[in-house]
Amino acid sequence: MTLALPHALNGAAMQVVSSIPSPTISFIDLGPLRIHFYALCIIAGIVAATLIVNHRLTRRGAEPWLVLDVGLPAVVLAIIGARIYHVVTHPGFYFGPGSNPWNVFEPGSVWAIWEGGIAIYGALLGGAVGAWLGCRWTGIRFWSFADALAPGILLAQAMGRFGNWFNQELFGLPTDLPWGLEIDADNPAFPAGLPEGTLFHPTFLYEVIWNLVGVAVLFWAGKRLRLQWGRLFGLYLVWYSAGRIVWESIRIDPSVIILGLRTNVWAAILGVAVGLAIIIVQRRRHPGLEPSPYVPGRERPGGPAVQSEDTTEFVDVSEPPAAEPESGRTATSSTATT
């Protein structure tokens, strides 16, 4: 790929005042085992999201650590979906002349996920299927799980983006801004035709900052606006996808172009539309609050409290209703306000 230098980058007189260095290593070898920092970033994000979802679901009244039963198929299918989406949208990486994409031991194989190459929108599609299956098995409402996941998945995405930094990949256009990202000139991703020392927009950092701000927004909106029935997840889709439209538009890594836009830009536009549709439709279908994170008839006997339909209080369902006293007045159970 050959790029034309922006005017500010032309000439030997350009002075680099400051920049963001890139890591010099992207993996470590422990005997025969090679550990990629890219993978560690993704695993750390998954762990963080799991802890957040468990906390949020338990507060809603779900059994502690039920998230593991739902999360296992969700994570597995998310990784599969993320890889399939990447391969389909980047066929030139794997199916060029002389390639052997189906040989797991060949560099550049479609199976070599440890080399990088996963896409968040594929992960969302695959993960949604896995979460739906997990919710069916456990009796958790799918939208309750999605809302509990929303801030956690955005934090996981922020953490995962540091993997791109370690790999020196998926950076943006050349820039002379003081926060430009250094990329090694011998890196295969370094664009041809640019002089050594050229700096690039750190799109990974832009997305990290955007996502972290989004985590705070989602926590605030979930508590202040009481977004349930999938509306908080819809807000996540709108927030993440709106930022992704911008970051994706300035990236220079190869991508299939459709009507002048990168495939991931189209996916992000669709993400905004789907998120808005979820918010609007679910608000009309379910104007009140969820009565419980469980579907009717699947509550766990002796489990924790569940949230009532039209209040923010929690009522204890582990004990049968109190008998009516002789005076005819109805006994009430104590409640705890969240």
Average pLDDT by stretches of 10, the chain with 338 residues: 44 56 91 89 95 94 91 92 86 71 70 74 92 94 96 96 93 95 92 93 97 97 92 97 96 90 94 97 91 82 44 37 42 36
Q: Residue 193: in which H helix or E strand, if any?
A: none
Q: Is residue 326 part of a domain?
A: no
In the prediction, which pLDDT does 93 show? Answer: 73
What b/e string do you get for 41-55 counting C-beta neighbours within 10 Å, with b at 16 or more? bbeebbebbbebbbe
Count of structural domains within the chain: 1
The DSSP secondary-structure symbol of 115 reads G
Pairwise CA distance, residues 56 & 98, whole Å? 50
In the prediction, which pLDDT does 148 show? Answer: 96
In the prediction, which pLDDT does 297 show? Answer: 76
Mark out the alpha helices in 64-110 (DSSP H runs).
Answer: 66-89
Q: Is residue 164 part of a domain?
A: yes
Decide if 177 contacts 205 (C-beta within 8 A): no
Q: Is residue 299 part of a domain?
A: no
Nearest to residue 199, comparing CAs of 183, 185, 215, 219?
183
Pairing relationship of beta strands 306-307 and 313-315 according to DSSP bridges: antiparallel
Q: Is residue 187 part of a domain?
A: yes
Domain with 47 in it: 19-285
In the prediction, which pLDDT does 115 show? Answer: 66
The DSSP secondary-structure symbol of 308 reads -
Q: Is residue 167 part of a domain?
A: yes
Q: Is residue 103 part of a domain?
A: yes
Q: Is residue 200 part of a domain?
A: yes
Decide if 117 contacts 87 (C-beta within 8 A): yes
Give the three-class secondary structure for 252: coil
Write down how long the chain is: 338
Q: Sign of the C-alpha dihedral, residues 29, 32, 34, 35?
A: negative
Q: Is residue 317 part of a domain?
A: no
- Predicted TM-score of the model (pTM): 0.80
